[in-house]
């Protein structure tokens, strides 16, 4: 059986995956960051540490076939933090994957690599990146890195372009487009572990949402077929006030867009 490692295991998504993947019979090593990770059940294979340190990466990846890499800064932050956690640490992880002959790395990318698209657009997997900040930009870099390690070193890579997933129903109008339910998340990650010969591929990590920003009819190479749909909550959510301002409402990235945003009226213009 494959040994699977999960980084970023202390977060909300990490905790859902630890429990759900165990129920699905996956042999998992779970890694947290700076604080020790408390086992969720007797005998859980847990560790923690800073992934910029190759010795920590060695402990994470020894004997591992597939890494689910969820660790990193997950929201917009000043550039130095993003560079440390999402660029430098990712290179250390990939170099560790080379040392330990890891077969496949599943990279947690994000919808924010595309956040500057207007909400009316429906994206294809091959659509150009339009990041909505340094965080989104780090995911563009991570996707390109995953592709490079497949092309140059033969480590299979899957970039999961995750929407909104937190183990709860959608909570606002934007999430009618970006939400991914827990059942779908678990199916998605299981497909990432079990799919045969993927080479390098990107996959949208959302449920089968009627208002998806992405064209899900394209399908995907891992055979992920989401069955949940945020639309089940549409009537209730659309009856509530929308928490986003007018600009944030008009872009797919929502409130990430309006952090450090120059309104069109204040932009430089040539005379
Ligand atoms: C993400 O990429 C973030 O990690 C998460 O915190 C959410 O903000 C999510 O996107 C989203 O767009 O809802």
Burial (0-12, 13-18, 19+ Cβ within 10 Å), 249: middle
Residue with tokens 């997933």: 165
CB proximity list for 136: less than 8 A, separation 6 or greater: 110, 112, 113, 114, 115, 253, 256
220 CA distance to ligand 1 centroid (A)? Answer: 22
Query: What is the best residue among 70, 73, 74, 252 to mutate for testing ligand 1's pocket, by most ligand atoms within 8 Å of CB?
Result: 74
Phi-psi region of 15 (alpha: psi -120 to 50; beta: other; left: phi over 0): alpha
Q: Which residues of the chain have pLDDT under 70?
A: 271
- Are residues 5 and 60 in contact, defined by beta-carbon separation less than 8 angstroms? yes
Q: In this structure, is residue 30 part of a structural domain?
A: yes
In this predicted structure, what is the pLDDT of residue 168?
Answer: 97
Angle among Cα 158, 191, 14 to the nearest 5 degrees reads: 75
In this predicted structure, what is the pLDDT of residue 27?
Answer: 97
Q: Is 135 a catalytic residue?
A: yes
For ligand 1, atom 4, name the residue with the nearest CA: 74
CATH number of residue 109's parent domain: 3.40.50.720
- Are residues 180 and 201 in contact, defined by beta-carbon separation less than 8 angstroms? no
74 CA distance to ligand 1 centroid (A)? Answer: 7
For ligand 1, atom 11, name the residue with the nearest CA: 164
Q: In this structure, is residue 238 part of a structural domain?
A: yes
42 CA distance to ligand 1 centroid (A)? Answer: 31
How many domains does the chain contain in total?
Answer: 1
The per-residue pLDDT of the chain, averaged, comes to 97
Q: Of all atoms in ligand 1, which is nearest to the CA of residue 112?
A: 2
172 CA distance to ligand 1 centroid (A)? Answer: 13
- As given in the structure block, the two tokens for residue 41 are 């059940």
Q: Please tell me which residue in 135, 213, 214, 224 is annotated as part of the active site.
A: 135
pTM: 0.97
Q: Of all atoms in ligand 1, which is nearest to the CA of residue 139?
A: 2
Q: In this structure, is residue 181 part of a structural domain?
A: yes
Q: Residue 235: how many CB atoms within 10 A of its CB?
A: 8
Cα-Cα-Cα-Cα torsion 39, 40, 44, 50, nearest 10 degrees, comes to -50
In this predicted structure, what is the pLDDT of residue 271?
Answer: 62
256 CA distance to ligand 1 centroid (A)? Answer: 9
**132-159 pLDDT, tens digit each:** 999 999 999 999 999 999 999 999 999 9
Q: Of all atoms in ligand 1, which is nearest to the CA of residue 253?
A: 12
In this predicted structure, what is the pLDDT of residue 128?
Answer: 98
Cα-Cα-Cα-Cα torsion 118, 206, 162, 253, nearest 10 degrees, comes to 20
- Are residues 11 and 19 in contact, defined by beta-carbon separation less than 8 angstroms? no
Ligand 1 binding site (Cβ under 6 Å of any ligand atom): 74-75, 110-112, 164, 178
Q: Residue 118 sits in which domain range?
A: 3-266
In this predicted structure, what is the pLDDT of residue 1?
Answer: 76
Q: In this structure, is residue 271 part of a structural domain?
A: no
């Amino acid at each position: 059986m494959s040994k699977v490692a999960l980084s970023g295991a202390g977060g909300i998504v990490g905790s859902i995956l630890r429990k759900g993947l165990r129920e699905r019979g996956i042999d998992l090593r779970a890694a947290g960051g700076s604080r020790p990770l408390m086992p969720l059940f007797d005998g859980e294979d847990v560790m923690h540490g800073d992934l910029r340190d190759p010795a920590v990466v060695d402990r994470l990846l020894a004997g591992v076939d597939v890494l689910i890499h969820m660790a990193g800064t997950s929201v917009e932050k000043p550039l130095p933090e993003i560079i440390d956690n999402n660029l430098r640490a990712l290179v250390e992880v990939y170099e560790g994957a080379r040392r330990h002959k890891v077969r496949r790395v599943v990279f947690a990318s994000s919808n924010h690599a595309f956040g500057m698209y207007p909400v009316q657009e429906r994206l294809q997997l091959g659509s150009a990146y339009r990041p909505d900040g340094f965080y989104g930009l780090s995911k563009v870099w991570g996707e390109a890195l995953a592709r490079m390690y497949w092309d140059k070193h033969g480590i299979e890579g899957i970039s999961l372009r995750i929407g909104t997933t937190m183990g709860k129903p959608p909570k606002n109008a934007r999430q009618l487009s970006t939400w991914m339910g827990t059942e779908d998340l678990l199916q998605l990650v299981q497909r990432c572990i079990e799919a045969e010969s993927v080479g390098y591929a990107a996959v949208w990590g959302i449920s089968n949402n009627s208002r998806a920003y992405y064209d899900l009819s394209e399908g995907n190479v891992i055979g992920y077929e989401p069955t949940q749909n945020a639309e089940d909550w549409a009537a209730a959510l659309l009856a509530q006030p929308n928490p986003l301002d007018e600009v944030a409402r008009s872009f797919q990235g929502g409130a990430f867009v309006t952090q450090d945003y120059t309104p069109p009226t204040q932009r430089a213009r040539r005379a």
